A and B are shown apart, each in its own frame.
Chain A
């Protein structure tokens, strides 16, 4: 990567990416009239990582991205790039590029002209041959060799997506922002692009910040995920972290799927917390954060942690008598919806391997369901 080709404002150029976080949000809030779109965001983005903002629409993830890009200035707090406060720095002065949700490609320019657009804005303007070389290189990276002379409207959605990506990465930005880049692609294409994006990110070493509402996308691509709700960051961590150690019920619901049993913490010990759920049934689980007796909590059990059997084989552990309501064959797994008289309905995901001995079970069959107490998490409800 040719760092010298940049002409960013003073300070940004000299800083080495490895020295510290490449971008930082420090207690950043953004207010649009009555609406608080971002509320006290704190986050530092490390050089070279792939970070995703994940949350439903309206959670503030796009606002966070736009503040990094410079399209919005924070109402309070600081946005830092390479250690320098850039709150009011115009977008065109930031070494940051964005892949827009609907690509925002220039319809009056060719593919090559679109990709070279950012290079042509630099002062001093790079020589023509250099621009051409970089554009060709970018086209290769996104596997669109030979498409340079095409018009934007001649391309498919997937191809346009690649052009948008090439237009951004050709500038070798410090930070590449991606705003729901795959929302408009069909499922198969999306899968392919996800893999390709990851490959490109690894190859180029550019820091990627992705905004998405698709948990699968976030989980499969990101080094870290920042889960947002109502303008706040709920939890930031690696996908495995978030899956295994969700901070609360919201995170657990957003990352993977889970069975939730709402109740009140009854007995609390270091290793185990007893939760009284509907119908007075006591369930035990492991609390990740301190819980006090009497607190409203939710017990979360992942469907794949539940086992089903025709008879209670493991004598020392009490199972739950359930009835099979439905069965969905998913290939490697089978998904069952079962019902317990006191606990209600919950999901079970059974690996094909397990079914060889004891399954498959049929709708209406009466079974026993088990899970290990340590695989059940006691979560706060905030």
Chain B
């Protein structure tokens, strides 16, 4: 077998998957986005820019998404980083695996069930009841943007923790000794060595969470009480309620383009931050 045909065989499954699951659906979405809504919903072939002209009607959903996705990513990062740092650097190696498993445990049940658990925790009989017991009355948590943020951080934490953990775990501890030896206090060592060295993990984690957040609809629907509305929710409504496939496709296509633009900008930024670092440049 030639090298070429071997390469072909190696790439064929992924290529087919890519074609069937990504290229074809995206093409369909693109074609639909230039069509029209049928009288009873669905799609009628046409070539019109009307759907795109209507995009401002979902401006609020885009705005909310473009605020939530970075904010949620940042919040996840701020909570995940210390945790990953503890697991990788501080935790007793004997317990490391067990602690890591604890981080994944929530992934064993569906996000739907887990979010329902949060409905109770954030609802009147949950945390607000505890707060009331210590004298902080009438705190409303459920169905607020804050509840959505909690749900997001909770749901996506493992996705953020893992790349950072892997990165920090592989970090050569001798580099930290070298930094200390050269006169850097622990905090400065963290800023000048640990943090820049874990940049690839941070970049990967942020990218994963950000991309997923751009399409998120479940957590806002469940923990936001339907009052916090994102592009994902707009899409659910357009496809499943008003069945305006053409308009829905235009919104979806715009979301994909926005995602591509922001991810590209993000990659540029990371590459510049990492200058020509080998480990980051490989990303």
Q: Write the residues of chain A forming the contact surface with B, with a CB cutoff of 8 angstroms.
A: 69-71, 90-93, 96-98, 100, 102, 104-108, 117-118, 121-122, 151, 153, 167, 171
A107 in contact with B177 given A92-B183, A92-B185, A121-B183 (CB within 8 Å): no
- Which residues of B sit under 8 angstroms from A96, Cβ to Cβ? 181
Distance (whole angstroms) from the CB of B24 to the closest CB of chain A: 41
* CB contact between B178 and one of A70, A104, A171 (< 8 Å): that residue: A104
* B:236-283 near A, CB below 8 Å: 274, 276-279
**Complex Cα distance A151/B280, Å?**
13
B162-175 contact mask (Cβ, 8 Å, vs A): 1 or 0: 00000000001011
- Whole-angstrom CA separation of A151 from B174 in the bound complex: 19
List the A residue with the shortest CB-CB distance to B195.
Answer: A108
Query: Which residue of the partner chain, among A91, A122, A167, contacts B180 with CB atoms under 8 Å?
Result: A91
CA distance A93 to B188 in the complex (A): 13
Contact B177 A100 (CB under 8 A): yes
Residue with the highest number of chain B CB atoms closer than 10 Å, among A93, A98, A121 = A121
Q: Give the residues from 176 to 198 in chain B that come closer than 8 angstroms, CB to CB, to chain A.
A: 177-185, 188-189, 192-193, 196-197
Alpha-carbon distance between A194 and B74 when the two chains are bound, in angstroms:
51
B278 touches A122 (CB 8 A): no
Q: A71-B177, A91-B177, A100-B177 are in contact. Are A108 and B277 (CB under 8 A)?
A: yes
A117 to B172, CA, bound (A): 17
Report whether A122 and B183 are in contact in the complex, using a CB–CB cutoff of 8 Å.
yes
- Partner of A92 from the list B175, B181, B199, B277 (CB cut-off 8 Å) is B181
The contact sample of 27 A-B pairs, CB cut-off 8 A, is A69-B181, A71-B177, A90-B185, A91-B180, A91-B181, A92-B181, A92-B185, A92-B189, A104-B172, A104-B174, A104-B175, A104-B178, A106-B179, A106-B193, A107-B279, A108-B196, A108-B199, A108-B274, A117-B179, A117-B182, A121-B182, A121-B183, A121-B188, A151-B276, A151-B278, A171-B182, A171-B183
B174 and A102: CB pair below 8 A? yes
Given A91-B180, A92-B180, A92-B181, 20 more pairs with CB closer than 8 A: A69-B181, A91-B177, A92-B182, A92-B183, A92-B189, A97-B181, A97-B182, A98-B178, A98-B181, A102-B174, A106-B178, A107-B277, A107-B278, A108-B279, A117-B179, A117-B182, A117-B192, A151-B276, A151-B278, A153-B278
Binding site for A on B (CB under 8 A): 172, 174-175, 177-185, 188-189, 192-193, 196-197, 199, 274, 276-279
Q: Which residue of B lies closest to A177 (CB)?
A: B181
CB-based nearest A residue for B274: A108
Question: Shortest distance in angstroms between A363's beta carbon and chain B's nearest beta carbon?
Answer: 50
A122 to B199, CA, bound (A): 25
* Nearest-CB residue, chain B, relative to A97: B181
Query: Which of A90, A92, A98, A108 has the most chain B CB atoms closer than 10 A to its own CB?
Result: A108
B182: contacting residue among A71, A102, A107, A118, CB under 8 A: A118
Give A327 to B172 CA distance when docked, in angstroms. Answer: 48
Q: How far is the CA of A102 from the CA of B173 in the complex (A)?
A: 12
Residue in B closest to A101 when the chains form the complex, CB atoms: B174
